[in-house]
Amino acid sequence: MSKEFDYTKLKHVTSVDQSDREVPYNLRQSGPTKVEMLISTRVRKSPYWHLSMQAGCWRATVYNRIYHPRGYVKPEDGGAMVEYDAIVNHVTMWNVAVERQIRVKGPDAEKFTNYVITRDATKISPMRARYVILCNAYGGVLNDPILLRISEDEFWFSLSDSDIGMYLQGVNSDQRFNCTVEEIDACPVQIQGPKSKALMKDLCGDQVDFDNMPFYGLAEVKVGGRSCVISQSGFSGEAGYEIYLRNATSYAEDMWNAVLEAGKKHNLMVIAPAHHRRIQAGILSWGQDMDQQHNPFQCNLGYQVSLSGKGEWNKKADYVGKTVLEKMKNDLKAGKKPYKLQLVGLEMGGKPIEDYAPDFWLISGANGGDPIGFITSPWYHPEKKINIAMGYVPFDGTLNANGFPKGKVGTKYKVHLPEKYSNTPGEAVDAVVVDIPFKESFNANTREVVKG
């Protein structure tokens, strides 16, 4: 897309079949439109906002109605790929206070939580966490948070980018469940990279046995003298932890500066959330790779869904969306196609994509022609030396060994990249469907049928 592009000529692409969506994705190719973000009081600044500015943050977006730092190394200094080097070789800290914490607490906390998520909350032990999804009555994915079980009667929903807190309060507006639902002043940072365990040992000392801490294990610790919950988890595919600081508005500097001090000998770098690395790991980003009009099956989250059938894990009680999700699963088993587009992994040509895509770039069939799909998350894979992406293409009915939909590996497409990344301006690049993930994670997500 050239700088002289005439924005008055932009047309919404209608050849991509989005007839199963009430609000289709906007497929106009506007490019990196130059605007200045307005910082105002109607969007929240997190307790770490000023600390991100001190660390060199130069650009931001809005996530959960909170300003979200999304870049520290400027393009002229190497940009996001310098941050990639830090996370795959050393250790990094991210300001992810935008992950609002919604606490469900009370005698019916487990019952309530079990009703709103698709997997079985009763099988999550205290001081353990899980990746979960919440669906609406139509089977659409409302959110995919990390769910922390702090105690028998207390859960924290660590949210992705949709305002699920108000939804949860609405579900219990008639107080049918004996519990409270409210946002709390607990804000996380993520510590990600191969040196993360060494840093955490220096930071927490003997408060935690990190050598035996399980994936998604939780622990109560003091960091910088302040009360925190830590989880062995993260949004990167690398080894990592999250530090949830209680009363973060008051104590942000204490925790943040303690991490910086402990991180000096480990080459700690403050970076933006590592979308390049999470794409390699096949980790989805809500609002980018799926939204409330995508069902779990079409975005590779079918393994999260508890359905009626044989087996102890299948005996989960009713939950929001279960009826329609069961119908979709039965339709898939019968060879039907209950939706139009399927999320797939792609390897594709073009010059290295080393920054966020401002548009959903278009996909055509192997022989070109009108667009039939679109890219959601592209980036360059330095180890494979090729561009990779997740994107939506017409669902062809292919199922994996567990009976869940997937893209047919080897299917070829053409991707329409902007001039910046095209080998030949105006010509689409070759792309082929490959398995996700593109690179294994430190804690591999095998995407098996959920068992709790």
pLDDT along the chain (452 residues), means of 10: 58 93 94 90 97 98 97 97 98 98 98 96 96 97 98 98 95 97 98 98 97 96 98 95 98 98 98 97 96 97 78 67 94 95 98 97 97 98 98 95 91 96 94 96 61 42
Render pLDDT for 410-452 as a digit per residue (tens, 0 to 9): 999 999 999 999 999 889 999 999 999 999 888 765 444 444 4
SS3 state at 100:
coil
- Torsions phi, psi of 135, nearest 5? -115, 155
How would you classify the pairing of strands 429-434 and 412-416?
A: antiparallel
- Torsions phi, psi of 59, nearest 5? -150, 155
Tokens 């087996």 locate to: 311
CATH superfamily placement of domain 280-305+340-434:
Aminomethyltransferase beta-barrel domains (2.40.30.110)
Predicted local confidence at residue 106, as pLDDT: 98
User: Quick one: tokens of 121?
Assistant: 């909350």
Render pLDDT for 112-165 as a digit per residue (tens, 0 to 9): 999 999 999 999 999 999 999 999 999 999 999 999 999 999 999 999 999 899
CA separation for the pair 239, 88 (Å, rounded): 9
- Torsions phi, psi of 181, nearest 5? -130, 115
Q: Decide: 350 and 375 in contact? Cβ < 8 Å.
A: no
| Amino acid identity at 173 | S
SS3 state at 427:
coil
CA angle 195, 201, 202 (to 5 degrees): 95
Facing residues of 390 across strands? 345, 377
Q: How would you label 337-346 residue by residue, b for 16+ Cβ within 10 Å and e otherwise?
A: ebbbbbbbbb
User: To 10 degrees, the CA torsion angle through 52, 191, 62, 38?
Assistant: 10
Render pLDDT for 392-407 as a digit per residue (tens, 0 to 9): 999 999 998 888 999 9
Q: Which of 191, 375, 162 is nearest to 271 (CA)?
A: 191
